[in-house]
Amino acid sequence: MNNLKINGDMQKLNIRILLTAIGMSVFLVSLFFVNLNQKADEDYQFSETKSIQITLKKESLKGVFVKSDKNEIEILPDYIIQRQNWEYFLANHPYSKTPHKTDEEWKEIPKADRPDLSAQLDFFKTVDPALGYVPYSRLKKASDEMWEMINDKAAISGVTWTERGPDNVGGRSRALMFDPNDGTNKKVWSGGVAGGLWYTDDITVASPSWIKVDDFWSNLAVSCIAYNPANTQEFYVGTGEGFFNADAIIGDGIWKTSDGGTTWSQLATTVPVAYPGTSNFYYVNDIEVNSSGVIFAAFRGYYINRGVIYRSTDGGSTWTKVLAPYSGIGVTANTNVYDWGADIEIAQNDDIYATCGLMSNEGHIYRSTDGGNNWTDITSTVGSTRIELAIAPSTGATTATTTIYAVAEGGSGNNDIGWFMRSTNGGSSWSNITIPLMVDGTGNHFTRAQAWYDLILDVHPTDPNLVIAGGIDLHRTTNGGSSWTGISHWYGGFGEPYVHADQHAIEFRPGSPNEVIFGNDGGVHFSTDAGNSASNPTFSDKNSGFNITQFYACATKNEINSHYFLAGAQDNGSQQFTQAGVNSTTEVTGGDGAFCHIDALNPDIQITAYVYNNLYYSQDGGNTFNTLLSSSTGHFINPSDYDSQRKILYSAYNNDGLVRITNIDGSPSAGALAVSFGGAQASAFKVSPYNDVVFIGVENGRVYKMTNASGSPTYTRIDNGTIPITATGWVSSIDVGANDNQLLVTYSNYGVVSVWETTDGGTNWYNKEGNLPDMPIRWAIYNPNDRNDVLCATELGVWSTDNFQPGTSNAPTYGPSNTGLANTRCDMLELRPVDDVVVVATHGRGLFTTDIFVSTPSADFIANPKISCTGSLNVQFTDASIKPNSDWAWDIDNDGSTDYTTQNPSHLYNTDGLYSVELEIDGGAASVTKNNLILVMSGAPTPCTGCSFSGNSNLGNTYGIGLFTFELENINYPTPNDDGEYHDYTCSAFTNLDLNTMYNVSVQTGVYNDEAAKVYIDYNNDGNFGAGEEIASFPANQAGYRTLSFTTPSGGVVMNTGLRLRVVSKYNSSPTDACNTSTYGQAEDYTVYFYDASTLPVELISFTAECTNEGSKLLWSTASEQNNMQFEIERSADLRNWKTIAIIPGAGNSNEMIEYSYLDPQGSDNLYYYRLKQLDFNGKQAYSPLATSDCISFEGLSDLSIQPNPVADNLNIVVTTALDEGAIVYIQDMFGKLVLQENAELMRGENALVFDVSFLNPGTYILVVQTEKGGIEKTTLIKE
């Protein structure tokens, strides 16, 4: 026998065969048995050889490593062979061969999202590479482990999450039920497939209030709900979405209430066992209860012989499998039908109808007339898969008179309904009925290739011929299926009203059969007339507070305590958050929302994404978005990252490539970069915060460092160091630590080590999995202030560790950190650098934030409502601060005294007036004052009598015409564009304005038709929008969001009184007056209020601040004082958070000039802003202009000069610096409002800059130059 030289690491021998070529595809397979006790460098004597001859396909050789010299074998470590096998699996799996549609084809798709492609992507992200499939049942084991730890202290102490919404979007809902105990039939229960169980007490009101039951059930994947007719206090809720979409969450059995929903408990007998998954109860697809209280449930197990129809006769304490076609239970065995339950319906006479079979196996219909003891196969046509049933409630007194409708998935492509049938004799015979078609005229079936995912039927309670069918949209027949009419469309097109796409549930309202509720991928919708055969139905969404939105990604504006976020949602576009607390969002771009970015240095630049590389960008702060790139390259939900310093976006392209888009702050330019990634696509990006470097994770498990990323890049593979990453799978995230050598890398697959770290640039990698359960880890970030702290976004909320021990092989200890969050999948974590707030995008419960990493408090709050027309107003104040440290001091009328010390007080205002409110937190560490926040009036502004409305066709218009948003200072009011001709919002929204001041006013109209708009203010309060009271005129076009400027008069305005503002839009031409809406236009009224500041008791001559060796010296003088109690001196470093540092008594009454001074010793080491808050003895107050003290010394920036000064148009700026560096040049008015900001690149020496300031109002401003290395210079600018 020949001696063979073996090269490699003998610790992990993987080669077990030697293939010797005999022919083209015939090989001699020699099995060697090796003595492994010798040293690695010695020759090996094989003790035995056995050979057999086999035939192999060429592709079967992948992963076998044999040297060309047959006398030498190279031994490779397990992980390398596993990586090679994974790469082969990725490249050759059928999902990888799904053709990408062209840009034109995507535009033709009659629906926004593609759940099938999302499912394929998530399959690769989570599949166990060793198994080749996703072991969903391991999540049950991980959940069990989590609940064993749940009572222990979370690894990072004090992690608390704050919900941010949205409260108007919703998410996928498959479970709907009217509460049988509500005599008004208004209370509705609904569940999110990843967001848990909710209810509202009145679904009929315009904005129902939804209440979540419990965010910490061990499982939030609510799939169905039913009540017991024999005892209506008993409800049953099933979990687990069993229809094979990849983002479906495995269930945890059934929950039960015996007191009408007050308390809930999990039915122990339905809790599925842990992996390997022999349980029948992983997915509960349907539950029905008969008139005697016997429960029937359609289960889907993990294996094809697990699940189907179970019965409980004792309220769920025990269960019996009564129907399982594959296993031969209840019927003759049929191995073409898997034991997977799809649907159950119970007729009036308690006959039971059930369907079995999902996905690739046959679907069959079964009937039992004896309570589930015996079953009959009543399938008329085989060859289908999923079957959905509906029974006419008004029939079914006997089996022979029961009317049933059945629709089956089948067919192919966009015509995927195999058949649609009707039976009028309980399924004894069937007749074909018409298949509904999409309303877009394409001829596609109403499910358009998604019957496996969205398929639902329901029959009118009293009319067996009226049926509503849901697929992509809703369709109705009034003649038993002979013909169908489309009654909705997913974007309100083709003359049909809008209802969100992908229908999953339909319920008629008991006692009011014309009224119907619908569950879909957009949450819950309601119609008052869908059950009326004579009507054209109208719909409204009912998602106010129903926060079950499934986000993929998020971004945040880099401003202290900002409430501005972007988030990409499954089938709900990219949502824009703008307010504190849980509030409504705006969909700025549609379809499936994906990765999004906000420039950290210039938040006017924002980026959103649809599927693949279909990208959009805004250069106006998110008001409008334009196409950045239209390309079907990359992943379905495509990873990307944005370089704020260099204004470059990086995203995945196809195999061995990247997309790089430059000059995003100007005219963007996109290009593809060729990179050798091993025949795979990028799966994660991280732009270095330190250098021109991008780190790239790849779907095949590799990690690369891209240096000189903005120029001619070089690429270095860094996962294969001396101590390499040995994980196989999908790189899901990368974070950069203290420098570019410290990296945190995660993998999202089951069955792999998920968390890795290097502190030396990839030479040595350390396994940081610790005690994390085997579950997908989708994201992880460091605490930038202490990198022992790490947060991980997982399939079961956020987990954390406070002993990560960077740079060591020591295993961290993790724990769930979900206080205030929910037991739901989390897809992304985003850290905001300016204040270290962390945002998490959940895939089922919307967006949340935490201040756990924040070190500096920042005060903020929200107030609701803010205006009243009744002479009194009860306002709820809600703290929105970060790090308040349980200390709040509220001055709700800003009179200098603390009124409340609780976190969220409410206050009743009983006196007309305009009120400012101050909140101070953490013992005065931070404060915020919101001036002119609350307006109390004893009546609405004077009505308009100068013109009248004639009535038009705006209500329910489907053309996208009307007013979408109106903005003026504090008014930012999105409204329905199709809800009628006129709405009076004067008692809902207001803003304070000043005389002789320029303001921007914005309107948003539609983008599909030419629309014009005008804005008026009734300055003289005479009820007539007369001459000189038109403040803005927007021409007729399709621009959508538009902004104009206007200047308020210097006189002739009624002061201290609510005045009426009107915005009016018109189709195709400009309104001729304030009531001219024509056919499809709209008009809306708001309140503006001019406060007469001349009544303030102090005449301030000057207020200045200067830097001295002892600190900042403040000087001010008054010409006269009347009833002046005191001056409060407030200081801020960021123009947002103000702290009172001193109180100086006033002179009371004086007609002589008085000079004041104060030395702030803390102001000697920074740039600080100061203002005076003057208070009189009657509680009135006023703020002074700002004064600035710059005590920063810096060796780089040395001089700043401007000319001319005063300036009319072009301002010449000369900046002298000792360094080459970037800078921001900005101008503020004397009240701290930012009016201009530009970026500049400074070279060593003198730099000449020119800015157009012609748009500025005449007055005094502060011009500041701030360099990236910390230098600050400022000067005073006077605008002519």
**What's the pLDDT score for residue 588?**
94
Confidence bin at 275 (pLDDT 50/70/90): very low
| For residues 965-981, average pLDDT | 89
| For residues 1098-1107, average pLDDT | 87
Confidence bin at 1271 (pLDDT 50/70/90): low
**What's the pLDDT score for residue 893?**
84
CATH of 551-850, one of 3.40.50.1820, 2.130.10.10, 3.40.50.150, 2.60.40.3950: 2.130.10.10
**What's the pLDDT score for residue 1?**
30
Q: For 334, what's the count of Cα atoms within 13 Å in the CB-facing half-sphere? A: 22
Q: Apex CA 496: angle with CA 494 and CA 500, to 5°? A: 105
What percent of the chain is modeled with pLDDT above 70? Answer: 89
DSSP 1153-1184: -EEEEEEEGGGGSSEEEEEEEEEETTS-EEEP
Residue with more model confidence, 256 or 46: 256
* 60-64, 237-241, 493-497, 1200-1204, range with the lowest pLDDT: 60-64
Q: Provide the mean pLDDT of the chain.
A: 87
Each residue's pLDDT tens digit, 343-356: 999 999 999 999 99
**pLDDT at residue 70 greater than cutoff 50:** no
**pLDDT at residue 1246 greater than cutoff 80:** yes
**pLDDT at residue 21 greater than cutoff 60:** no
The DSSP H or E segment spanning 144 is helix 137-149
Each residue's pLDDT tens digit, 178-204: 999 999 999 999 999 989 999 999 999
Name the E strands within 586-668: 586-589, 597-598, 606-609, 615-618, 626-629, 640-643, 648-652, 657-662
- Report yes or no: 521 and 502 within 8 Å, Cβ to Cβ: yes
**pLDDT at residue 515 greater than cutoff 90:** yes
**pLDDT at residue 738 greater than cutoff 60:** yes
What type of residue sits at position 623?
A: N
What type of residue sits at position 941?
A: P
* 57-66, 113-122, 1246-1255, range with the lowest pLDDT: 57-66
Check for a shared fold between 861-936 and 965-1091: yes
**pLDDT at residue 38 greater than cutoff 50:** no
Question: Structurally, what CATH architecture does the domain formed by 1096-1190 represent?
Answer: Sandwich (2.60)
**What's the pLDDT score for residue 1180?**
67
**What's the pLDDT score for residue 1165?**
64
Q: List residues bridging with 649 in a β-sheet.
A: 642, 661
- Report yes or no: 808 and 838 within 8 Å, Cβ to Cβ: no
Each residue's pLDDT tens digit, 120-140: 788 899 999 988 888 877 877
Confidence bin at 1095 (pLDDT 50/70/90): low
Confidence bin at 1133 (pLDDT 50/70/90): confident
Mapped to the 3 state alphabet, what secondary structure does 948-1016 carry?
CCCCCCCCCCCCCCCCCEEEECCEEEECCCCCCCEEECCCCCEEEECCCCEEEEEEECCCCCCEEEEEE
**pLDDT at residue 1048 greater than cutoff 80:** yes
Beta-strand relationship, 387-391 and 404-412: antiparallel
Mapped to the 3 state alphabet, what secondary structure does 487-532 carry?
CCECCCCCCCCECCCCEEEEEEECCEEEEEEEEECCEEEEECCCCC
**What's the pLDDT score for residue 99?**
62
**pLDDT at residue 545 greater than cutoff 60:** yes
Which range of 84-93, 647-656, 1170-1179 scores highest in mean pLDDT? It is 647-656
Q: Which class in CATH covers the domain with range 861-936? A: mainly beta
**pLDDT at residue 112 greater than cutoff 80:** no
**What's the pLDDT score for residue 113?**
53
Give pTM, 2 decimals.
Answer: 0.77
Fold annotation for 1197-1279? Immunoglobulin-like (2.60.40)
**pLDDT at residue 864 greater than cutoff 70:** yes
Confidence bin at 1183 (pLDDT 50/70/90): confident
- Report yes or no: 613 and 631 within 8 Å, Cβ to Cβ: yes
Each residue's pLDDT tens digit, 741-787: 999 999 999 999 999 999 999 999 999 999 999 999 999 999 999 99
Give the residue from 334, 341, 331, 266 showing the smallest Cα distance to 306. 341
| For residues 569-596, average pLDDT | 92
The DSSP H or E segment spanning 90 is helix 78-92
- What is the separation, in whole angstroms, between the first and last Cα of the chain? 100
**What's the pLDDT score for residue 837?**
96
* 46-55, 67-76, 364-373, 645-654, range with the lowest pLDDT: 46-55
* 326-330, 373-377, 1088-1092, range with the lowest pLDDT: 1088-1092
**What's the pLDDT score for residue 699?**
96
**What's the pLDDT score for residue 895?**
78
> Rounded to an integer, what is the distance from CA 65 to the centroid of its chain?
46
Confidence bin at 640 (pLDDT 50/70/90): very high
Each residue's pLDDT tens digit, 887-942: 999 999 877 789 999 999 999 999 999 999 999 999 989 999 898 999 999 999 99
For the chain, how are helix, strand and coil distributed in percent, rounded to 5?
5, 45, 50
Q: Dmax of the chain from CA atoms?
A: 117
**pLDDT at residue 386 greater than cutoff 70:** yes
**pLDDT at residue 1094 greater than cutoff 80:** no
Q: Residue 500: CB partners within 8 Å, gap ≥ 6?
A: 170, 490, 520, 521, 522, 523, 525, 541, 571, 572
**What's the pLDDT score for residue 23?**
34
Give the residue from 474, 501, 540 showing the smallest Cα distance to 168. 540
**What's the pLDDT score for residue 671?**
96
What tokens appear for 82 in the block? 């596993």
Residue with more model confidence, 1129 or 1271: 1129
**What's the pLDDT score for residue 102?**
53
**What's the pLDDT score for residue 1174?**
86
The DSSP H or E segment spanning 121 is helix 115-126
**What's the pLDDT score for residue 511?**
96
Residue with more model confidence, 49 or 1275: 1275
Q: Name the CATH superfamily housing domain 965-1091.
A: Macroglobulin (MG2) domain (2.60.40.1930)
Separation between Cα atoms, residue 905 and residue 770, nearest integer Å: 43
| For residues 99-116, average pLDDT | 52
CATH of 175-541, one of 2.130.10.10, 2.70.210.12, 2.40.10.120, 3.40.190.10: 2.130.10.10
Each residue's pLDDT tens digit, 776-825: 999 999 999 999 999 999 999 999 999 999 999 999 999 999 999 988 99
**What's the pLDDT score for residue 8?**
39
**What's the pLDDT score for residue 1111?**
84
| For residues 1009-1035, average pLDDT | 95
Mapped to the 3 state alphabet, what secondary structure does 265-297 carry?
EECHHHCCCCCCCCCCCCEEEEEEECCCCCEEE
**Four-point Cα dihedral 147, 157, 858, 1266, nearest 10:** -110
Domain ranges of the chain: 5-76, 175-541, 551-850, 861-936, 965-1091, 1096-1190, 1197-1279
- In the chain, DSSP finds a helix count (H) and a strand count (E) of 4, 92
* 553-557, 958-962, 1175-1179, range with the lowest pLDDT: 1175-1179
What percent of the chain is modeled with pLDDT above 90? Answer: 65
Separation between Cα atoms, residue 1135 and residue 1235, nearest integer Å: 14
Separation between Cα atoms, residue 578 and residue 596, nearest integer Å: 15
The DSSP H or E segment spanning 554 is strand 551-556
Residue with more model confidence, 143 or 646: 646
Separation between Cα atoms, residue 898 and residue 906, nearest integer Å: 14
| For residues 1151-1165, average pLDDT | 86
**pLDDT at residue 110 greater than cutoff 50:** no
Each residue's pLDDT tens digit, 207-226: 999 999 998 888 889 999 99
Q: What is the CA radius of gyration of the chain?
A: 34
Beta-strand relationship, 982-984 and 648-652: unpaired
Confidence bin at 63 (pLDDT 50/70/90): very low
Confidence bin at 273 (pLDDT 50/70/90): confident
